[in-house]
Each structure stands twice: as structure tokens, then as C-alpha cells.
Amino acid sequence: MSPSPRRVVPDLYSYAPPSRLSKEQFCRDLRNYLDSQLITNLDETVIGELFEIVSEGLFHFGLAQNVRTTKARQDWKAIGRMMKTLRGRIDGCLRVLVTYEKQKHLLTTVVAKKLTREFWLLKSTLVQAQLQRRIHSQMVVMLKKTPYPGEISLAIDDYLRICVPKLASEKERDKVIGGCLHAASFYKKSKDVEDIVSSVPMQRSRGRKGYVAGQAIILGCPHCGVRYTLDELERNDGDTVRCKQCNQPFPSPFPARKTEEKK
């Protein structure tokens, strides 16, 4: 049995900057700020969940910035040119091999058939790579449209409204959101935490358009076009997911995150 074609296009995660956010430091800074604001009804579990939300948001924020760079665009175009060139040359090699097989020379035919199998395997691998690149193209478009920091602010606000009902007032939630952004050092320039809190309502307003609660990225099935959030896709063994509409598998746009593997 021939080996399955391997996915050859690296995940977009390759363009994400390494995380410099320390959970211990984040939780300590956020707790200190909340205590100063007399917000004491958030336990350690909630603080930990807020760290995960902010960490995920910062990850996609850094990724979105990096896929906008000239270097990333050049990389993406180079992959497309390479695949187009290889596709033509593989097809050309297969045509040559068919010609030699038709001559029906004993040794030539044996070698030609073996090479034909290898070239078909290579072509299958290339098809998988082209499909993966098409999926990544959708991801790049969505990442470029994702509004930050409003996206993070909305994700935190949704979590607090659902999971911390005691934190009923929007003003209190704004303080928690601002405290999270401050503890994560979201702003490169030094910015007072009260200024951050005052900007949260505007962030939420700007981020609301096209926002999907709990998931910023929407992916379309390359076979039938049905759209999903990443969390809605059914994962298969390995690095593929399956469309619930047409039941066709396709390469996962991103590998399982470490936080998902722990669950």
C-alpha cells in the first residue's frame, strides 16, 4: 500500500510570535488591580480563564500583524508559484512515462511503472498542499479583518456575563477588561490603566461588527463552502477535520493548541 500524502504546507502558526505573557505575573497584576477597585468576587479559576482568553487573543493579534508583512506576502506568492511549476512538471513527467510504457520493453516498463507510482504519490501530496494553502488563504483574510483589541474585550465581556453573573454591572466588567489588557501589557507604550478602562466601551463598539462570540476565525469547507468556527469542526485522528455537511475531510488549518490538548 502506498503511503498517504503528507501535508507539506506549514501551519500559519509559524508566523505567530512567541508568547511573552507570564500567567503568574498576569494573575498577580490583575488581582492587585481588582483589589484596588474593590472587585473581590473573581476567584482563581476565573482569573485563570481570563488569562487563557487574553493569551489566545494576543496570539491571534500577533499572528494577524505578521501575516500582513511584505515578507509574509512574498512567502505566500512564492508557495503558489512553486506549486504551479511543480504541477506542470509532474504532469509532463507522467506523460513521458506513459510513452515509454507503451514501447513494452521489459526492463523499461518495470522502471516506468515504478516511477509512475512515485509521481502519482507526489501529485497527490501536491494536491493536498494546494488544498491546505487554499484553506490558509481563508484564514489570512479573516485574520486581517479581525478587530483588536475590541475582539479581546468582547470575548472577556461575553465570558464575564455568562460565567460571573455576580459581576452584573457593565462598569465593573469594563474595569476587569481594562485590568486584563493592562496586566497583559497589550499597549507597547506606557498607558495608565484608567485610560485603558475608559477606552473599553469604544473598543467593544468597534469590535462588535462581525464578531463571533468565543471564536474570531470562521472557516469555509473547501468542498461545499459551509462555514464553521474552528471549535465547530469535528477533528479526525491526525491533522484533518471533517465537514458536517458533506462529510468530506480536509487538512486542519491549525494544529491542536496546547490548551486544547490538555482538555
pLDDT in tens, 223-250: 777 766 656 666 776 667 778 778 877 7
How far is residue 122 from each of residues 116, 117, 259, measured CA to CA in Å?
10, 9, 34
- CB contact set of 112 (below 8 Å; sequence gap of 6+): 97, 100, 101
pLDDT at res. 119: 94
Question: Can you give the pLDDT at residue 233?
Answer: 66
Terminal-to-terminal C-alpha distance of the chain: 35
* Rounded Cα–Cα distance for residues 140 and 134 (Å): 10
Q: The pTM is what?
A: 0.65
pLDDT value for 246 = 81
For residue 256 the three cell numbers come to: 491542536
Cα–Cα distance, 122 to 255 (Å, whole number): 23
Judged against a pLDDT cut of 60, whether residue 18 lies above it is answered with: yes
Sign of CA dihedral 239, 244, 247, 248: negative
Percent of all residues in the chain with a pLDDT value above 90, rounded to a whole number: 29
Q: How confident is the model at residue 216 (pLDDT cuts 50, 70, 90)?
A: very low
Name the least confident of 135-139, 161-165, 203-207, 212-216: 212-216
The yes-or-no verdict on residue 214 having pLDDT over 70 is no
Q: Going by C-beta distance under 8 Å and a sequence separation of 6 or more, which residues neighbour residue 224?
A: 243, 245, 246, 248
Q: What pLDDT was estimated at residue 204? A: 73
In the numeric block, the cell 492587585 is attached to 32
Say if residue 48's pLDDT is above 70.
yes
> What confidence tier does 148 reach under pLDDT thresholds 50, 70, 90?
low
Give the SS3 label for residue 10: coil
Residue 192 burial (CB < 10 Å; 0-12/13-18/19+)? exposed
E strand intervals along the chain: 218-220, 227-229, 234-235, 240-242, 249-251
